[in-house]
Amino acid sequence: MTDLHELDAHDLAATIAAGEASCVEVTRHFLDRVDGETLGAFVTVTPERALERAAAWDAATVRPPFAGVPTAFKDLTPTAGVRTTMGSTLMADHVPDHSAYLVDLVEAAGFVSLGKTNTPEFGLSSYTDNDVVGPARCPADPERNAGGSSGGAAAAVAARLLPLAPGSDGGGSIRIPASCCGIIGLKPSRGRVGAGPDSPTWSGLATDGVLARSVRDVAAMLDVLARPTPGASRVWPAPAVPFAEEARRDPGRLRIATWTDPYLDFVEASPGSVAAVAAARESLVALGHEVVEIPNPWPAELEPQFNVIWSAGMASVPLPPEAHGALRGTTRYWYERGGRATAPELAAALTFLELTTGRVNAELAGYDLFLTPTLALPPQPHAWFTESGDPAEDHRRELLFTPYTALMNMSGQPAMSLPLHEHDGLPVGVMLAAHVGGDALLLQVANQLTR
């Protein structure tokens, strides 16, 4: 019999349904693996809570499809009765009294949470490190960072501590760690996943998504999450056909645009990133698709406008002055930078992003999908981002690392990182994106490439 941790969520659910393992047995198996992990994947582990929920599913006469399948929630996601630190020592003892909408949806589907996965302070970085538990490590090379900000979730899934995990993505925070850890990461279309009544979506940048090892697990979790939030006005309706079914369909022959040059002229794609796209292009052509190389269509002027919105979001957090000294350097950098932005500057930045990304996508209407590297560099050593001690240099290095992913947050397009390549023994992801609303098409081609 295959070890339980080698199974994806679908096969684990089938194993439980067939009576080959109970929900409690599966939960104990994964808790034992988490107990010995050295990757910094978790901030908090909740064995008693997990076993209690597993036992309840074992006793239930009617169970949802994924009853007893383990997962965990990112430590940015409020979870009732469970410590939720946001990766910050300022919130090291914070225990929410109610859960995010995402938690309710995932738990209603039967998944059993083992705890909270690691994230950088307030999710601001493309690498995962904090002063609560330290860095999340790349399973392929623990001396390198797992990426961020869903780095703990990605490390846990890659190391078989979990079959899948939800994450959140405001500038690449699902796709970046998915690439670093060699798994699949999906950021859905803007509005596809409702944020819930406690999570404002004024900037349109961030959304919840999923990290997993199989496309069918990604599609199934998207079905769990793609439910309109009560009272929300900026969401898609639940799909008429489940994404799990759509993902198995043939997409037909598609026209796919590809580029590898970053949109910032001081950034260069590494040989591994270029090679990964070349290999993916060959696979797509072999599948019958037309792949056309084009210049990078995105203007560099987007980057400073994105920074106005990103920093303003951080500056809106009501922190007392005495708390500023407890923030990590890069968090304080964004907090102070956002505090200097004026209301007209923020409005102008939001307008620029909306008009510019809309124009670019109108010009790309003749293409169905877009293929690029996920990252410009492979997973980096933990200290590489912060070794200068200068937060502005930290930011510059993050741009050198990840100049592709945030564009899809600016535009609202669905995008996935796929683990199709390795270079020098390290995973290198490629990013596929579709037009807004094209989540099903994206899953279909991802399924073609990974099966």
Contact 231, 197 (CB under 8 A): yes
- 292 Cα distance to chain centroid: 27
Enumerate helices (H) and strands (E) in the chain, giving the number of each. 15, 13
Rounded to an integer, what distance in angstroms lies between the CA atom of residue 119 and that of residue 331?
13
For residues 373-411, one letter each, b for 16 or more C-beta atoms within 10 angstroms of the residue's C-beta and e for the rest, the string is: bbbbbbbbebebbbeeeebeebbebbbbbbbbbbbbbbb
Rounded to an integer, what distance in angstroms lies between the CA atom of residue 201 and that of residue 420?
32
- 370 Cα distance to chain centroid: 18
Nearest to 304 by CA among 336, 331, 341: 341
Query: Helix, strand or coil for residue 123?
Result: helix
Contact 411, 145 (CB under 8 A): no
Taking CA atoms, 365 is separated from 132, 268, 371, in Å, by 45, 27, 15
Rounded to an integer, what distance in angstroms lies between the CA atom of residue 309 and that of residue 334?
10
Taking CA atoms, 124 is separated from 70, 202, 238, in Å, by 27, 17, 30
Taken as a whole, the chain contains a residue count of: 451
* Alpha helical stretches, state H, 36-119: 47-59, 101-108
**What are the residue numbers of the active site?**
74, 149, 173
Pair type for strands 369-373 and 255-258? parallel
Query: Helix, strand or coil for residue 445?
Result: helix
